[in-house]
């Protein structure tokens, strides 16, 4: 019954002239609608090939980059022959003596099995390709190439010193 009153009321409103204004408004020219594409922005291009995987650890990414740099650096050094002392860790080598031969100093180094080696300035020692920079009265100075925490190759100075033996 309520719906009958609704139908009658809507008929009376349209018949009374309330719907005429709507019909007249539709005959007038429509206002210009602004173009929505004028505010549209171009999406940035994404390089998916060089995008970092968000699920991998940042430290492992740095380590991988450092290993690639180290391999590239070792490939530069691969044109020279490896010296016998480059298979040893520097902590297993001990400086036994230093003497002068002509104008330059020569050092005697001993490995953990007791085998002795003679080294000059410019020779390489240790697993990190430490090059002998200079030999003093009781110290051998080496420069090793190591990876820092960011994965970059840096030079680090290492020394071997004579140990005094008291009888």
Q: How confident is the model at residue 166 (pLDDT cuts 50, 70, 90)?
A: very low
**Integer Cα distance of 136 and 100 in angstroms:** 10
Parallel, antiparallel, or unpaired for β 124-125 and 116-119? unpaired
- How far, rounded to the nearest angstrom, does the alpha carbon of residue 28 sit from its chain's CA centroid? 67
Alpha carbon dihedral 91, 93, 99, 103, in 10-degree steps, equals -80
Taking the whole predicted model, whether its pTM rises above 0.85 is answered as no
Fill in the DSSP letter of residue 55: T
Q: Where are the beta strands (DSSP E) in 56-110?
A: 94-101, 104-110
Average pLDDT, whole number, for the chain? Answer: 79
pLDDT at 146: 74
Domain extents in the chain: 84-161
Q: Could you report the per-residue pLDDT of 126-137, keeping only the tens digit for each?
A: 888 889 999 998
Domain boundaries 84-161, corresponding CATH code? 2.30.30.830
Q: Could you report the per-residue pLDDT of 26-65, keeping only the tens digit for each?
A: 566 777 887 877 788 888 898 888 887 888 888 888 888 8
């Amino acid at each position: 019954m309520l719906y009958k009153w609704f139908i009658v009321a809507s008929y009376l409103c349209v018949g009374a002239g309330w719907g005429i204004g709507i019909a007249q408004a539709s005959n007038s020219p429509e206002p210009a609608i602004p173009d929505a594409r004028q505010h549209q922005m171009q999406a940035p291009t994404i390089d998916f090939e060089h995008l970092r995987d968000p699920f991998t650890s940042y430290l492992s990414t740095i380590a991988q980059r450092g290993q690639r740099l180290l391999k590239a650096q070792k490939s530069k050094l691969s044109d020279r022959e490896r010296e016998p002392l480059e298979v040893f860790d520097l902590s297993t080598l001990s400086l036994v003596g230093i003497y002068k031969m002509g104008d330059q100093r020569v050092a005697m180094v001993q490995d953990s099995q007791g085998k002795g080696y003679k080294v000059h300035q410019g020779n390489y020692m240790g697993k990190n390709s430490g090059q002998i920079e200079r030999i003093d009265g009781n110290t051998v100075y080496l420069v090793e190439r190591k990876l820092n925490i960011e994965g970059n190759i840096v030079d680090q100075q290492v020394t071997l010193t004579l140990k005094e033996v008291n009888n």
